[in-house]
A and B are shown apart, each in its own frame.
Chain A
């Protein structure tokens, strides 16, 4: 499938989603348009854009996206996204200091391929450094988790 067709599917699916959930909203009258009018109009326009690009994509096709090739690379954005998701979800439980140090350690050791001790040292410095800068210098309240600080 061409890149344009892949993009058109995203627009179409977003349009269908918007259509389904905005049809139930009050549409009001022309002299008092309700909260559903704008999202409904946008959803229809998105669906139409998706359909038009799907048709146009067949003719124009500016190349294909090699998602499988991307997934086979040693460092993939998907690994980074997965690790980041785990970090975000564990942030409230573990607290910023511990979670960020662990996150940095895994990124540096697994993705950046540093030796374990080097990765550990850098992770502690980076996790602790950002914690100190944001918590102590900028007075941002970072999640504590089970730690007392």
Chain B
């Protein structure tokens, strides 16, 4: 089945009344969770997992993906109008977006942000449509050594591109991998770190860990901050940008699409990283970089486009390799597994209706989102008028009941709470928890690949360099480790200046 045939069949699946409705619900809920600080795409997706139990896998993934990319649109609204990022990827948008609002150009910033999001999102779906089948076919050649090498480089990239330093991310990855070993060993059925607790035999559930370490920790941190908010009103006629603003945003939008797409393929908080990289690139390319931070449209257009493009391309390794690159795709993977569908190299050939239905629904979803986010922006902003002192108990309660509903287990709620505290403590200590969560979910696959490789080679490590793919990836991993080591040991300008000061 070639791409156009697949897409045609995909539209036939996605354009049924039922699937359009599910796509709309996903996009609407995604916008709401993007607008509300404290609930990210992860919590938004987890909360609606129980709602997918009664529907087929295609409908389920269409709705959950809608939440994921929908939250990227919603996140910019609060950043621009209130200087509060609704979603972590929109932190950069606050810098120039809010300044534009203060200058009375908030409406134009919202328009350009929505338009850029649509362009970035749609172009990334085009990439997803062409690249995923190619990647899946390539991955068919993968044996355990190649899979181990892919996961090794994924972890090294996770450390290199994470928000913290490489050596700050590495222990978090080790901790996540160790937590991932809890439960029954998949090859020998030996119990590890279970201490006779039956609930741990199947391992620690991913949903309570992710919801706790990322969702609950976020709520606990939010309760410490000021709850007062100033909301700027935007009228419909103020949404239209000037000709200069439109002209200035073309370049950032297309550059943001390319950058976001490439960064989205990498593991980690790709949508967050892509917006930061795009902002930096736009500032460097600008003829007036000193004006960035004072309300430049390029500072809104680039990052908002990039984070949407990244959310689309993040689906490529998840669907084509079965390797989720971020917490939100990982939760979508859990939802698919609940429905008996396993993403990976065989996914497209075994589930063509599901894959192409999802691709087609993403085109439809981006159209729904631009309609939701432009004329109806005022309605979503009004959500923020709900006082946070009411909002946080509600978010907390729905996080708890959402986690409970996945396995109907009170034990998982205790795990949720424990990881909430752990996530909060690590946040306070300036550590990013996302690598721990990702390592926990990818770790078991890595362990199995490593052990199977050694079993296949009769205990010889040469199996890792006999395969050219594995050899290249392992060499690249080592190069990145040494490069990061060199970067952290190399004296910076600041340390030279400090040393000079001390000498004086």
Binding site for B on A (CB under 8 A): 3-4, 6-7, 10-11, 14, 18, 21-22, 25-26, 29-39, 42-43, 45-46, 49-50, 52-53, 56, 62, 65, 70, 73, 75, 77, 80-81, 84-85, 87-88, 91-92, 96, 100, 103-104, 107-108, 111-114, 122, 126, 130, 134, 138-143
Contacts and interface: CB of A to CB of B under 8 A. Distances in A.
B142 interface: no
Contacts of B390: 108, 112, 122
B453 to A, nearest CB: 10
Given A37-B451, A43-B178, A134 B50 contact: yes
A3 B455 contact: no
Contacts of A11: 171, 174-175
The 9 A-B pairs of least Cβ separation, nearest first, read A30-B459, A31-B459, A35-B185, A112-B389, A49-B171, A77-B220, A140-B405, A35-B190, A107-B393
B200 interface: no
Interface of B is mostly: helix
B277 interface: no
Interface residues of B, number: 58
Contacts of B451: 33, 37-38
Nearest to A33: B451
Interface string B398-413: 1011001100101001
Nearest to A31: B459
Q: Which secondary structure dominates where chain A touches chain B?
A: helix
B223 A77 contact: yes
A80 B389 contact: no
Contacts of B4: none
Nearest to B177: A42
Given A75-B224, A138-B405, 14 more contacts: A7-B426, A21-B193, A37-B451, A38-B450, A42-B177, A53-B167, A70-B428, A80-B396, A81-B417, A88-B413, A100-B401, A111-B393, A112-B390, A142-B404
Contacts of B397: 100, 103-104, 126, 130
Contact of A46 (B175, B420, B458): B175
A112 B190 CA distance: 47
Contact of A42 (B174, B425, B430): B174
Contacts of B455: 31-33
B17 interface: no
A17 to B, nearest CB: 8
B414 interface: yes
Contact of B420 (A56, A75, A81): A81
Contacts of A26: 188, 190
A65 to B, nearest CB: 6
B259 to A, nearest CB: 29
B430 A141 contact: no
Contacts of A35: 185, 187-188, 190, 192
A31 B453 CA distance: 9
B24 interface: no
A25 B424 CA distance: 32
Nearest to B422: A10
A80 to B, nearest CB: 6
A107 B396 contact: yes
A73 B181 CA distance: 38
B248 interface: no
Interface-centre pick from B50, B401, B404, B447 (highest chain A CB count, 10 A): B401
24 contacts: A3-B430, A10-B425, A18-B193, A25-B192, A30-B459, A31-B457, A32-B454, A33-B451, A38-B181, A42-B181, A46-B171, A81-B220, A81-B421, A88-B417, A92-B410, A100-B397, A107-B393, A108-B393, A111-B223, A111-B393, A126-B394, A138-B405, A139-B50, A140-B405
A85 B417 contact: yes
Highest count of chain A CB atoms <10 Å: which of B170, B178, B459? B178
A7 B394 contact: no
Interface in B360-415: 389-390, 392-394, 396-398, 400-401, 404-405, 408, 410, 413-414
B447 A77 contact: no
B53 interface: yes
Nearest to B399: A84
B230 interface: no
A14 B431 CA distance: 16
B51 interface: yes
Contact of B410 (A4, A114, A126, A143): A143
Contacts of B393: 103-104, 107-108, 111-112, 126
Nearest to A12: B171
B429 interface: yes
